[in-house]
Structure 1
Amino acid sequence: MKFLILNGPNLNLLGTRETSIYGNQDFSSFFEELKSNFPQFQLDYFQSNIEGEIINKLHEVGFSFDGIILNAGAYTHTSVAIGDAVKAITTPVVEVHISNTFSRETFRHQSYISPNAKGVIIGFGLDSYTLALKSFL
C-alpha cells in the first residue's frame, strides 16, 4: 500500500519552530521512525510552503495512492483551493494537525479541508500522523 504524507507551510521548521506547541523533533527524523514502524507500507513525503505545489501534489497522487495524510498548516484555514483539490481526487485524505487547533486562535477553528476528508486527527503531536496512518488499516 502507498501513502503520501503531505505537509504545508512552515512544517519544514518542525523541531525549531515554536517548540512549546510543535515539539523538539524535526520531521525528517520522525518520518524515518514512521517508515521503520510501518515497513509493510510505501511511505512518501512531500512538504511545500507554496499552495499551488500542494494542490499539484494532490492531483499527482490523488488517483493512484491508497491514502494521503495532509497537514496543510495555515492553508487549512484559508485555502478553498486545497479543499477543492481534496474533494476532486479519489484517494482518501486524512487531515492532521500537530496542535489542538481548537485551543488556539479562533481563525484556526475553521477548516476548508475537513468537509472533504475521510477524517480529522488533531492535537496528538507528531503521533497524529501515526494515528492517521493506522486509520487506513
Structure 2
Amino acid sequence: MFAGMTMALLFYAIVPNGLALRPHYVSGNDIFAQAVRSLYRTDTPINVCPSIHVFNSVTLMLAYYRCRCFDAPRLRWMRPAAAVLCVSITLSTMLLKQHSVIDVVFGMLLAFALDGIAAEMQRAPQTTQRNRRQRQPEWL
C-alpha cells in the first residue's frame, strides 16, 4: 500500500490533474446534504487520478482473498464482506463526484499491478532457496 500511494503521489506531482464534476451548490439542510458539503470543503477535486481510495480498497480486498487465515470456516464471511466494502467505497467515490470512472480504472490497475509484482516477489525467494539446496554438495 505504501508503494502504491507513493507512486500515486509522485504521479500527482508530475502530472497534476483534477475534476470539474461537482455541482456549484448542494441544496437541502438535512444531515446528508450537510455531510456532502463538508466533504466537498475538505476533499478538493484535485490530484484524483489514480484514485488512492480505490487503490487502497482493492489492495485490501486482494489481501483478504490471498490470506490463508481466512480459509477457516468461522472467518470465510470476511472475504465477501471485503468485496462488498470495496465495491461500496468505489461506487461512493464516483457517486459523490470525488472520482470519475477513469480515476477508478487507474486505481484498480495500480492495485492489480502491484499485487502481481508482490506475489511474484514472494514466489521468487522460495524458488531460489530451493535451487540453492539442490546445488549443494552431498557432504554438506
Q: TM-score, normalised by structure 1?
A: 0.28
Q: TM-score, normalised by structure 2?
A: 0.28
Q: Which of the pair has the greater relative contact order for Cα pairs under 8 Å at 6+ separation? A: 2
Q: Which has the larger radius of gyration?
A: 2
Larger strand proportion of the pair? 1
